[in-house]
């Protein structure tokens, strides 16, 4: 039974030498096997995220007036295996909604976090946390907890980008990252946690690997241009950058939205720009804003004056409702504009709403806009 088990007699010189040779042989064979396994791991691209079935992102009914270039570029990014997407553009153009809808098509479920200045890599990647009785343990952050589905990082510009996703950087560039945390804090020889760049079946306790559905879809509000410079080129290069602008035809967008919400009939087709289009256009000439604040203004006007006809110049009460909506949702977006711009907007709003030039409301409008200007 013990035929294949070598027996060494420790008192014999020859046997001791044989033992040393055998042990050294065994080490050499084991080391070669480990190297071969590691090579197989790094070369194995077959289960990478890009091998998922290609999915075509359709135009979404929920969003109106999104330029076709947006869908074309998203689909091109996906088709060429670009895993991570960056949706950027002016405020309120539907970036967050789009990120959610795209994630929905690609995976169904998603995780979403909103950028904040006090974020740390502990929140995103994880870190040691007390677990009672004086002990600490590595607790994974949101990214590692939800490594199986798209992660939407909304308003990425609001956090220190390199600091927060820096630890992820090697993963984004296809390499393994070793985290400065061990599986057993009290045991200095216990393995450190690692993040593997690609899916791996049967990960060990100390390994985190993305599942094929994982990707980052981030949004950036491009008003905050400084934010773009905060991100290193090396990191920026890992993303497909897709610009989500304002609708090309503002009037068409507004009429489509109003028809959809049955605020106007199907056949209504005004010849000239309606008041809301004029106001939005005047604002955009000074600072570009997306549909979201305009839609909020529209809802406000409708809530105050339910019988209003949005297609014609308002009467005095209706004009007051427009101003309420303007003050509530448009004015806060205009902080810090130049005073020349403030005057232009005031003049156009006044004309679009047929306000009395010398009346109280015109004065207030002028005053409030100029007050925001620098
Ligand atoms: N093109 C659009 N069509 C229809 N609704 C839109 C459109 N753009 C924005 N909205 C609506 O406006 C609201 C806000 O949009 P969303 O939050 O997605 O914009 P955002 O670009 O992420 O804004 P921000 O830059 O402020 O983060 C949503 O309810 C969305 O449905
Ligand atoms: Mg958003």
Q: Has residue 254 been placed in a domain?
A: yes
For tokens 């609001």, name the residue.
158
Ligand 1 atom with the shortest distance to the CA of 93: 21
Residue 51 lies in a domain: no
What's the pLDDT score for residue 361?
96
Can you name the residues that pair with 275 across neighbouring β-strands?
A: none
How high is the pLDDT of residue 338? 95
Q: Residue 50: inside a domain, yes or no?
A: no
Q: Are residues 30 and 121 in the same domain?
A: no
Predicted local distance difference test score (pLDDT) of residue 28: 53
**Cβ–Cβ < 8 Å for 368, 331:** yes
> Do 258 and 266 form a contact (C-beta atoms < 8 A)?
no
The answer, yes or no, to whether residue 320 has pLDDT greater than 80, is yes
Regarding whether 227 and 277 lie in a shared domain, the answer is: no
**What distance in angstroms lies between residue 205's CA and the mean position of ligand 2's atoms?**
36
Ligand 1 atom nearest residue 97's Cα: 18
Atom of ligand 1 nearest to the CA of 296: 12
Binned at pLDDT 50, 70 and 90, residue 42 comes out as very low
- Does the pLDDT of residue 225 top 70, yes or no? no
Distance 243 CA to ligand 2 centre (A): 13
Testing ligand 1's pocket by substitution, the residue of 65, 158, 290, 293 carrying the most ligand atoms inside 8 A of its CB is: 290
User: For residue range 229-258, what is the model confidence (pLDDT) as tens digits?
Assistant: 567 777 888 899 999 999 999 999 999 999
Domain count of the fold of the chain: 3
Tell me: pLDDT of 152 over 60.
yes
Grade residue 34 by pLDDT with cuts at 50, 70 and 90.
very low
Q: What percent of the chain has pLDDT over 70?
A: 87
Task: Note whether 67 and 176 are same-domain residues.
Answer: yes
Q: Are residues 260 and 351 in the same domain?
A: yes
Task: Quote the pTM value.
Answer: 0.80
Among 92, 153, 257, 263, say which to mutate for ligand 1: greatest number of ligand atoms within 8 Å of CB: 92
State the pLDDT at residue 30.
Answer: 52
What is the CATH number for 169? 3.40.50.300
Residues with CB under 6 A from ligand 1: 63-66, 91-97, 155, 219, 221, 290-292, 295
Q: Which of 120-124, 209-213, 259-263, 278-282 has the lowest mean pLDDT?
A: 120-124
Instruction: Identify the domain containing residue 201 by its residue range.
Output: 57-243
Ligand 1: which of 61, 66, 67, 93 to mutate, most ligand atoms within 8 Å of CB?
93
Q: Is the pLDDT of residue 3 over 60?
A: no
Instruction: Answer yes or no: is 52 within a domain.
Output: no
Whether residue 253 contacts residue 260, with contact meaning beta carbons closer than 8 Å, is answered with: no
Pick the last residue of a domain from 200, 222, 243. 243
* 51 Cα to the center of ligand 1, angstroms: 32
Average the pLDDT over 174-194 and give the result: 90
* pLDDT tops 60 at residue 187: yes
Residue 108 DSSP one-character state: S
**Ligand 2: distance of its center to the CA of 220 in Å?**
8
Ligand 1 mutation target, pool 69, 89, 96, most atoms within 8 A of CB? 96
pLDDT of res. 296:
97
- Rounded to whole angstroms, the Cα distance separating 185 from 69 reads 51
58, 96, 215, 312 from 85: Cα distances, Å: 16, 12, 8, 42
Instruction: Please give the average per-residue pLDDT across 351-356, as a whole number.
Output: 96
Q: Is residue 264 part of a domain?
A: yes
Asked whether residue 258 falls in the same domain as residue 280, the answer is: yes
Residues 117 and 216 placed together within one structural domain of the fold: yes
- Residues 315, 336: Cα–Cα separation, whole Å: 31
- Does residue 49 fall inside a structural domain? no
- Cα–Cα distance measured from residue 77 to residue 102, given in angstroms and rounded to the nearest whole number: 12
Q: Which of 243, 258, 290 is the last residue of a domain?
A: 243
List the one residue out of 153, 136, 143 whose CA is nearest residue 195. Answer: 143
* pLDDT value at 26 more than 50: yes
Q: Which of 208, 243, 278 is the last residue of a domain?
A: 243
pLDDT at 25 over 80: no
For residues 228 and 324, membership in a common domain is answered with no
Cα–Cα dist 119/123, whole Å: 6
pLDDT digits 0-9 by tens, 79-132: 998 889 999 999 999 999 999 999 999 998 899 988 888 888 888 889 999 988
Instruction: Return the pLDDT at 24.
Output: 65
Question: Does a structural domain hold residue 358?
Answer: yes
What is the per-residue pLDDT for 172? 77
Rounded to an integer, what is the distance from CA 339 to the centroid of its chain?
34
CB neighbours of 114 closer than 8 A, spacing ≥ 6? 154, 155, 158
Rounded to an integer, what distance in angstroms lies between the CA atom of residue 278 and that of residue 270? 13
Residues β-bridged to residue 88: 220, 243
Distances (CA, A) of 112 to 91, 108, 152, 185: 18, 13, 4, 30
Residues making up the chain, counted from first to last: 374
Question: Are 238 and 258 contained in the same domain?
Answer: no
**pLDDT confidence of 21, banded at 50, 70, 90?**
confident
| Claim to verify: residue 96 and residue 236 sit in the same structural domain | yes
User: What are the distances in angstroms from CA 272 to CA 228, 311, 313, 326?
Assistant: 39, 9, 11, 21
Q: Quick check: is 48 in a domain? A: no
Which tens digits make up the pLDDT trace of 295-313? 999 999 999 999 999 999 9
Q: For residue range 355-372, what is the model confidence (pLDDT) as tens digits? A: 999 999 999 999 999 999
Q: Whose Cα sits closest to atom 4 in ligand 1?
A: 63
| Mean pLDDT, the chain, integer | 86
Please list the alpha-helical segments (H only) found in the chain: 13-43, 68-79, 95-106, 121-124, 142-145, 161-165, 169-172, 226-230, 233-236, 250-260, 275-286, 291-304, 316-325, 339-352, 360-372
Closest CA to 176 of 191, 193, 197: 197
| Ligand with the closest atom to the CA of 246 | 1
Q: Is the pLDDT of residue 27 over 70?
A: no
Tell how strand 126-132 and strand 135-140 pair up.
antiparallel
259: Cα separation from own chain's centroid: 31
Q: Which residues fall within 8 angstroms of residue 240, CB to CB, at 6 or more apart?
A: 73, 74, 76, 77, 82, 84, 85, 86
Which ligand neighbours the alpha carbon of 88 most closely?
1
- Any idea which ligand is nearest the CA of 95? 1
**pLDDT number for residue 118:** 82
What is the pLDDT at residue 53? 61
The pLDDT of residue 241 is: 93
Mean pLDDT on 134-147: 90
Q: What is the mean pLDDT of residues 129-144?
A: 90
Same domain, 282 and 363: yes
| Residue-wise burial string across 303-332, b where 16 or more C-beta atoms lie within 10 A, e elsewhere | eebeebebbeebeeebbbbbbbbbbebbbe
Q: Are residues 187 and 281 in the same domain?
A: no
- pLDDT of 253: 95
pLDDT, tens digit, 9 for 90 and up, residues 321-349: 999 999 999 999 999 999 999 999 999 99
Atom of ligand 1 nearest to the CA of 221: 25
Cβ neighbours of residue 201 closer than 8 Å, sequence gap 6 or more? 47
Residues 301 and 337 in one domain: yes
Ligand 1 atom closest to Cα of residue 223: 25
Strand partners, 114: 154
HSE-CB for 127 with a 13 A CA cutoff: 8
């Amino acid at each position: 039974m013990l035929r294949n088990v070598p027996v060494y007699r420790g008192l014999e010189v020859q046997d001791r030498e044989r033992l040393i040779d055998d042990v050294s042989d065994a080490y050499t064979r084991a080391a070669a096997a480990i190297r071969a396994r590691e090579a197989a791991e790094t070369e194995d691209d077959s289960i990478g995220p890009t091998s998922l079935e290609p999915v075509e992102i359709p135009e979404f009914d929920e969003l109106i007036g999104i330029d076709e270039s947006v869908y074309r570029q998203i689909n091109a990014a996906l088709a060429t295996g670009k895993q991570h997407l960056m949706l950027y553009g002016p405020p309120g153009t539907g970036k967050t909604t789009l990120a959610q809808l795209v994630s929905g098509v690609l995976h169904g479920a998603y995780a979403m976090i909103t950028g904040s200045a006090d974020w740390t890599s502990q929140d995103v990647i994880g870190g040691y946390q007390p677990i009672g009785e004086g002990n600490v343990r590595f607790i994974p952050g949101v990214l590692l907890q939800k490594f199986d589905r798209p992660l939407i990082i909304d308003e990425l510009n609001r956090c220190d980008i390199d600091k927060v996703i820096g630890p992820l950087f090697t993963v984004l560039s296809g390499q393994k990252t070793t985290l400065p945390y061990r599986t057993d804090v009290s045991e200095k020889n216990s393995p450190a946690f690692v993040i593997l760049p690609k899916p791996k079946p049967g990960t060990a306790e100390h390994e985190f690997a993305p599942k094929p559905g994982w990707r980052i879809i981030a949004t950036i509000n491009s008003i905050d241009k400084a934010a773009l410079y905060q991100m290193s080129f090396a990191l920026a290069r890992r993303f497909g950058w897709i610009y989500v602008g304002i609708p090309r035809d503002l009037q068409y967008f507004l009429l489509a939205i109003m028809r959809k919400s049955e605020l106007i009939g199907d056949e209504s087709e005004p010849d000239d720009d309606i008041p809301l289009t004029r106001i939005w256009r005047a604002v955009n000439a000074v600072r570009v804003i997306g549909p979201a604040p305009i839609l909020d203004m529209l809802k406000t006007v409708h809530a105050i004056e339910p019988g209003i006809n949005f297609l014609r110049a308002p009467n005095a009460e209706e004009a007051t409702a427009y101003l309420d909506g303007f003050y509530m949702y448009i004015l806060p977006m205009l902080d810090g504009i130049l005073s020349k711009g403030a005057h232009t907007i005031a003049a156009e709003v006044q004309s679009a709403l047929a306000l009395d030039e010398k009346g109280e409301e015109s004065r207030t409008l002028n005053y409030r806009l100029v007050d925001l200007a620098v």
